[in-house]
């Protein structure tokens, strides 16, 4: 992985988890269109539309590029630290529940941890408005792993949807008392791959006829479902289900309207890639004719 040279102050913040003084950073009141990258490894972290004026003295964002930022418990045992998911460089801290924006989240980031690339200088991929799709097909480890191998997919995040509790934990979901389903959020470039292609793949990397779970994973949190963003996605998903039923498959996949997506704990992300394993109940099986 590429790592840029850092000056002493950058090392103090990015490597030693320091903090720049408030109201001194270059990006505190910076609102030009573009992308904020990691100073150490150039990974794309935030888009300009994620940024908002919080008057806290540091750049504030209410969202991040999917999969770009990792949350960890701070050494003080109270706050939640955010680091670059690619190089582990310290970015700052994240705070929830402040009601500053509709997303109710504030990434408080050191300017020195980032560098900015304006829209005019972005590569062609980053100028495209990426879209997100949400699929549930059993344990999210395997679904995530197979979607990550798809051309046009920018990032895949494992998480939970469909329940009644905010910020559910894995233990709570497994206890089957929150109503959540294990889901993956697929962020993709619509100019490289469309929703129908992703949905077809979804139906071919899990068993859409299994009603009680997936493989040996049994329980309501492992149900097969698509959470659609709009009527167009719902219609496309239903058409694929109808095709499969016409081919003799008793599809039980549920179509649900989009609701809040809660990212799963960090140890669930990129699970198979980080552990050097392969899915135990997910594999590609061609079901649609050419």
Q: In what order do the strands lie in the sheet with 90-96?
A: 60-61, 105-109, 90-96, 80-84, 69-73
Q: Count how many Cα atoms sit within 13 Å of the Cα of residue 15 in the half-sphere of its side chain.
A: 12
Place of tokens 């994240």: 94
**Residue 139 bears catalytic tag:** yes
Whether the CB-CB separation of 215 and 207 falls below 8 Å is answered with yes
Rounded CA gap, 142 and 227, in Å? 18
Rounded CA gap, 24 and 264, in Å? 34
List the beta strands (DSSP E) in the chain.
Answer: 34-38, 44-47, 60-61, 69-73, 80-84, 90-96, 105-109, 114-118, 131-137, 153-161, 181-188, 213-214, 217-218, 224-228, 254-257, 262-263
| Closest by Cα among 114, 110, 124, 122 to 41 | 114
Catalytic residue among 41, 56, 87, 108: 108
Chain CA centroid to CA 185, Å: 5
**Residue 87 bears catalytic tag:** no
Place of tokens 């935030």: 46
Catalytic residue among 139, 174, 259, 281: 139
Q: Which two tokens stand for residue 134?
A: 């949400």
Report the run of H or E that residue 231 belongs to, with start and end. Answer: helix 231-246
| Closest by Cα among 30, 25, 39, 42 to 126 | 42
Rounded CA gap, 188 and 68, in Å? 14
- What positions carry a catalytic annotation? 108, 139
């Amino acid at each position: 992985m590429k790592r840029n040279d850092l000056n002493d102050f950058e090392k103090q913040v990015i490597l030693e988890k320091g903090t720049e003084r408030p109201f001194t950073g270059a990006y505190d009141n910076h609102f030009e269109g573009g992308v904020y990258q990691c100073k150490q490894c150039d990974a794309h972290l935030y888009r300009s539309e994620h940024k908002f004026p919080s008057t806290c003295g540091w750049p504030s964002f209410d969202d991040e590029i999917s999969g770009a930022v990792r949350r960890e418990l701070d050494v003080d045992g109270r706050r939640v630290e955010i680091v670059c998911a690619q190089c582990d460089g310290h970015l700052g801290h994240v705070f929830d529940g402040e009601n500053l924006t509709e997303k109710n989240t504030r990434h408080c980031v050191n300017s020195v941890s980032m560098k900015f690339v304006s829209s005019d200088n972005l590569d062609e991929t980053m100028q495209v408005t990426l879209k997100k799709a949400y699929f549930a097909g059993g344990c999210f480890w395997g679904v995530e792993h197979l979607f990550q191998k798809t051309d046009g997919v920018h990032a895949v995040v494992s998480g939970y949807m469909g329940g009644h509790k905010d910020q559910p934990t894995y233990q709570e979901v497994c206890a089957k008392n929150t109503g959540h389903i294990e889901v993956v959020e697929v962020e993709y470039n619509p100019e490289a791959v469309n929703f129908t292609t992703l949905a077809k793949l979804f139906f071919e990397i899990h068993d859409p006829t299994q009603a009680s779970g997936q493989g040996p994973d049994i329980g309501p949190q492992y149900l097969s479902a698509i959470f659609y963003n709009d009527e167009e996605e719902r219609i496309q998903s239903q058409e694929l289900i109808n095709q499969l039923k016409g081919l003799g498959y008793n599809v039980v996949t549920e179509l649900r309207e989009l609701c809040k997506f809660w990212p799963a704990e960090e140890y669930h992300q990129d699970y198979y890639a980080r552990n050097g394993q392969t899915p135990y109940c997910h594999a590609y099986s061609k079901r649609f004719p050419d």
